[in-house]
């Protein structure tokens, strides 16, 4: 066995990971403050633009305008699939392979299904045993 000091390496790794976590927490707090300030300015611009009847707000620094964004989430898979089958509305679905199902197939057969690219990588995981 080598004379590599695993205890020291894991200890140092955990100290560094804690430092990264602290930096990320501070960044998250700072980001939230900045986003709140941005939201206040957006509200002011919207309020004044609506009062002034503006659809776009050209300035020397850039243009402010409104755009509608859409989100879509499946609330009931069974209802959605029933609707799609009943109305032949296959365009409502997007195809994406299930990672766990493909992994099971690869483990069983050694190959992913046709049309699926599958890869794996090993990562070193270090669990903290310091009782945090």
| Stretch (H or E) spanning 28 | helix 6-52
Taking only the tens place, the pLDDT of each residue in 6-56 is 999 999 999 999 999 999 999 999 999 999 999 999 999 999 999 999 999
The pLDDT assigned to 27 comes to: 98
CA distances from 87 to 62, 76, 130 (A): 46, 17, 57
For residue 95, name the pLDDT band (cuts at 50, 70, 90). Answer: confident
The structure tokens 């964004």 sit at 69
Q: What is the 3-state secondary structure (H, E, C) of 45-112?
A: HHHHHHHHCCCEEECCCCEEECCCCCCCCCCCHHHHHHHHHHHCCHHHCCCCCCHHHHHHHHHHHCCC
**pTM score of the predicted model:** 0.68
For residue 99, which of 112, 82, 80 has the smallest C-alpha distance?
112
Structure tokens belonging to residue 41: 């300015």
Is 126:10 a contact under the CB 8 Å cutoff? yes
Is 95:101 a contact under the CB 8 Å cutoff? no
């Amino acid at each position: 066995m080598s004379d590599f000091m695993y205890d020291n390496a894991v200890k140092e790794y955990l100290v560094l990971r804690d430092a990264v976590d602290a930096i990320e927490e501070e960044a998250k707090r700072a980001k939230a403050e900045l986003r709140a300030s941005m939201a206040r300015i957006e509200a002011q611009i919207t309020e004044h633009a609506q009062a002034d009847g503006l659809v776009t707000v050209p300035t020397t620094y850039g243009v402010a305008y409104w755009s509608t964004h859409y989100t879509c989430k499946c609330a009931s898979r069974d209802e959605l699939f029933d609707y799609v089958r009943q109305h032949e509305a296959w365009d409502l679905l997007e195809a994406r392979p299930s990672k766990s199902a493909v992994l099971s197939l690869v483990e069983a057969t050694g190959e992913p299904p046709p049309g699926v690219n599958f890869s794996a990588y090993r990562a070193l995981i270090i669990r903290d045993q310091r009782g945090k």
